[in-house]
């Protein structure tokens, strides 16, 4: 009898609502239904290129001494400076040359650059930590604490919890378009993680049990219709179920569509950005969204540009086409002035190609910033060049000359009005703006404030005492028996 009771509970609670909690994140503290409207607040979209993109393939030098060093280091992987498969030259607004170009597959990004909506920060990354581990580097960046991993929250979580002037509780302030919550949203209790809106539903178990369907007897209810009554209790599992049920209802009440706009690319990454675009349009209070694009760890067979098999040609085209479609969609709907996209990767690749036609883990890398409030068509940061003598102290890698937190801090201050850098990036000091973003400067605060009445904070979430979950008590038994009786009644089995 005990096994039967556990099986039923796992089927209806574990397989259904607990799966929803896993898809949605730690908790969904959503409020009323949202209506589409032009947002008055900014939204930041963080695109993380997992795997370490080759910045010298995306933004290669096309003339001067660096061009010669580049071709010498990459005899078969260099992007041509001119010709059919040559780099797309990047010029400043006055028409003067920059000495750099974009990969020929990045035609959309070139258009954004020419339109003044794309900026590139040279040699960006973590100046205080050098690691060639994907896992360490990604975690340091996601947590916002280079060199430290024992942090309980991601930097996007802290950015939201210190965001001033929230007003009414937003419906969905943080979104990860992913199958699970990324580390930059670690500890967030108001975030939602979903691969796609169409998949964000309870569909486990027998088909006919999932929800009411046409042709069933009147009054028939499925698991989806009975969830609200099943989660009426106050146990930890029931409270989590209430949040998951609320998340499902919020997403279900929005007019999400999987039909892409005309001309929109059809890659998974592009579809994820379409989900972000719709979420911005629905006026859900979205302040921070994050999307990943992997596949950049090319130790062999990287390719360059041209006919035949060229892996990077396809990957960069995927990235460029999706980002361009996203910006154009936001621009068409007048949201572009309040939407900023940052594109980062954990590190760059080695300057010299390896013996397998690829590149190994490096260090510094370009960081892309695009949006309506970006002072674009400019390079920022310091470029030291590709002279082997200059690179020698950095093990032959492109060094990091701009701390990525400097760029993100300017974004927070000028676009989000959040100057609490000591809370968002613990241990980071000495911030000064690069001028990438339009907006008003605020004096940075490097120490945590004792209290701030205008700041929305995470709700208290006390953890149980050690061993409590293993202690079988009479009270717990009564709760389980009460819930099981309620379940049977809801399903008409009593």
Q: Which residues of the chain have pLDDT under 70?
A: 1-38, 200-210, 212, 224, 228, 230, 239-248, 307-309, 448-494
pLDDT for 492: 63
DSSP state of 34: P
Closest among 247, 177, 224 to 26, alpha carbons compared: 247
Neighbours of 295 (CB within 10 A): 15
CA–CA distance, 289 with 36 (Å, rounded to integer)? 18
Kindly give the interhelix angle for 474-490 and 223-230, rounded to the nearest 10 degrees.
140
pLDDT for 133: 97
Percent composition of the chain: helix, strand, coil (DSSP 3-state, to 5): 35, 15, 50
From residue 340, how far is each of 158, 280, 286, 335, 368 by CA, in Å? 18, 12, 12, 10, 11
Whether the pTM exceeds 0.85: the reply is no
DSSP state of 289: E
pLDDT for 80: 97
pLDDT for 477: 57
Q: Please give the domain boundaries of the chain with CATH numbers for all domains.
A: 31-196+258-461 (3.40.720)
pLDDT for 216: 75
CA–CA distance, 256 with 291 (Å, rounded to integer)? 18
């Amino acid at each position: 009898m005990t096994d039967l009771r556990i099986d039923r509970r796992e089927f209806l609670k574990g397989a259904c609502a607990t799966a929803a909690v896993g898809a949605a994140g730690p908790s969904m503290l959503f409020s009323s239904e949202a209506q589409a409207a032009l947002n008055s607040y900014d939204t930041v979209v963080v695109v993380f290129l997992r795997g370490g993109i080759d910045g010298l393939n995306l933004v290669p030098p096309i003339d001067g001494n660096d061009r010669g060093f580049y071709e010498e280091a990459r005899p078969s992987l260099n992007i041509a400076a001119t010709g059919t498969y040559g780099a797309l030259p990047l010029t400043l607004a006055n028409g003067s040359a920059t000495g750099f170009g974009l990969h020929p597959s990045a035609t959309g990004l070139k258009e954004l650059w020419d339109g003044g909506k794309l900026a590139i920060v040279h040699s960006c990354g973590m100046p205080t930590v050098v690691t060639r581990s994907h896992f360490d580097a990604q975690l340091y960046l996601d947590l916002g604490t280079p060199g430290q991993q024992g942090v309980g929250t991601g930097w996007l979580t802290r950015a939201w919890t210190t965001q001033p002037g929230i007003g009414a509780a937003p419906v969905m302030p943080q979104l990860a378009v992913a199958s699970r919550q990324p580390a930059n949203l670690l500890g967030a209790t108001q975030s939602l993680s979903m691969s796609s809106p169409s998949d964000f539903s309870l569909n486990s178990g027998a088909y006919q049990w999932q929800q009411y369907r046409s042709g069933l007897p009147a009054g028939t209810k499925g698991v989806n219709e009975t969830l609200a009554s099943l989660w009426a209790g106050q146990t930890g599992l029931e409270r989590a179920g209430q949040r998951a049920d609320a998340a499902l209802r919020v997403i279900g009440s929005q007019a999400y569509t999987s039909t892409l706009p005309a001309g929109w690319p059809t890659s998974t990454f592009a579809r994820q950005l379409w989900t972000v675009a719709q979420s911005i349009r629905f006026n859900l209070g979205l302040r921070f969204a994050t999307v990943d694009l992997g596949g950049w760890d090319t130790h062999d067979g990287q390719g360059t540009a041209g006919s035949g098999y060229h892996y990077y040609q396809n990957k960069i085209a995927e990235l460029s086409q999706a980002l361009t479609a996203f910006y154009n969609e936001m621009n068409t709907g007048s949201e572009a002035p309040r939407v900023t996209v940052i594109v980062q990767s954990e590190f760059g690749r080695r300057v010299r190609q390896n013996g397998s036609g690829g590149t190994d883990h490096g260090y510094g890398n370009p960081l892309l910033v695009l949006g309506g409030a970006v002072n674009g068509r400019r390079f920022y940061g310091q470029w030291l060049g590709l002279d082997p003598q200059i690179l020698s102290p950095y093990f032959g890698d492109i060094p990091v000359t701009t701390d990525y937190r400097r760029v993100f801090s300017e974004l927070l201050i000028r676009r989000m009005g959040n100057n609490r850098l000591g809370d968002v990036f613990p241990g980071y000091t000495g911030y000064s703006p690069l001028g990438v973003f339009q907006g008003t400067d605020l004096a940075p605060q490097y120490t945590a404030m004792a209290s701030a009445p205008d700041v929305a904070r995470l709700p208290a979430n006390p953890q149980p005492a050690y061993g409590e979950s293993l202690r079988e008590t009479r009270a717990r038994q009564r709760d389980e028996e009460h819930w099981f009786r309620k379940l049977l009644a809801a399903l008409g089995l009593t």
